[in-house]
């Protein structure tokens, strides 16, 4: 046996093993690198998606009107306690199934009051929109009025009115607490309506479909 050949063969073998270990080590490092990038990007995009939901806190009439005029799918308008002017007329506020537009009290224990004018809130051609924990009062015509904008084939739809108080509407004539004309797929939940027009209704509906009025 040639000892030199044996030593050389072993040396080559050790080198090959070393090279293979080095390659394996680098591949593992590469995998860990990709994994870290993947975890970072996933966290980043999830966080970005969540934080992209705009939440606006409003404290006065100007801020409330501006926030409503700018509302997009996913917008949450939180109204601080206080009294705000009625006459909020807005069209085409459209949320999405997973990203409704929400108009709500900043503190449900201290609901803001939207007061006065012919109607407190009048919305036309709106969808995936929710109003929570608001007091509506002292309107000459209706408290809340939601309609299809006069285009019957495109009703307002997917509307939730929840924990709303409507009071002191009219008092004379066909004046309603909540008036819905051309609204599909809606829920009116835990709302209190008191003192509406003597020829009107607490809730008046025309051309409405698939609505639920409930108290939990
Ligand atoms: Ca319409």
Separation of CA 188 and ligand 1 centre (Å):
20
Separation of CA 156 and ligand 1 centre (Å):
6
User: Residues 142-150: what's their mean pLDDT?
Assistant: 98
Separation of CA 42 and ligand 1 centre (Å):
40
Q: Which residues surround ligand 1, an ion (CB under 5 A)?
A: 125, 148-149, 151, 154
Instruction: Report pLDDT for 52.
Output: 53
Q: Is the pTM of this model over 0.85?
A: no
Instruction: Report pLDDT for 57.
Output: 98
Q: Are 55 and 74 in contact (CB under 8 A)?
A: no
Q: Are 117 and 139 in contact (CB under 8 A)?
A: yes
Separation of CA 158 and ligand 1 centre (Å):
13
d(CA 194, CA 156): 25
Residue 18 has pLDDT above 60, yes or no: yes
């Amino acid at each position: 046996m040639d000892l030199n050949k044996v030593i050389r063969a072993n040396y080559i073998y050790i080198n090959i093993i070393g090279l293979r270990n080095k390659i394996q080590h680098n591949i593992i490092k590469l995998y860990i690198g990709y994994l870290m990038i993947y975890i970072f990007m996933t966290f980043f995009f999830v966080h970005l998606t969540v934080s992209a939901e705009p939440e606006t806190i409003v404290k006065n009439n100007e801020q409330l009107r501006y926030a409503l005029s700018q509302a997009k799918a996913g917008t949450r308008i939180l109204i601080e306690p206080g009294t705000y002017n009625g006459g909020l007329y807005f069209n085409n506020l459209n949320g999405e199934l997973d990203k409704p537009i929400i108009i709500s009290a900043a503190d449900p224990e201290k609901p803001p009051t939207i007061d006065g004018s012919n109607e407190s809130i009048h919305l036309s051609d709106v969808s995936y929109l929710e109003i929570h924990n608001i007091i509506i009062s002292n309107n000459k015509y209706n408290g809340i009025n939601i309609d299809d904008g006069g285009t019957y084939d495109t009703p307002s739809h997917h509307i939730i009115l929840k924990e709303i108080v409507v009071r002191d509407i009219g008092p004379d004539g066909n004046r309603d607490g909540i008036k819905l004309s051309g609204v599909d797929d809606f829920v009116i939940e835990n709302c209190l309506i008191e003192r509406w027009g003597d020829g009107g209704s607490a809730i008046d509906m025309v051309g409405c479909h698939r609505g639920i009025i409930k108290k939990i």
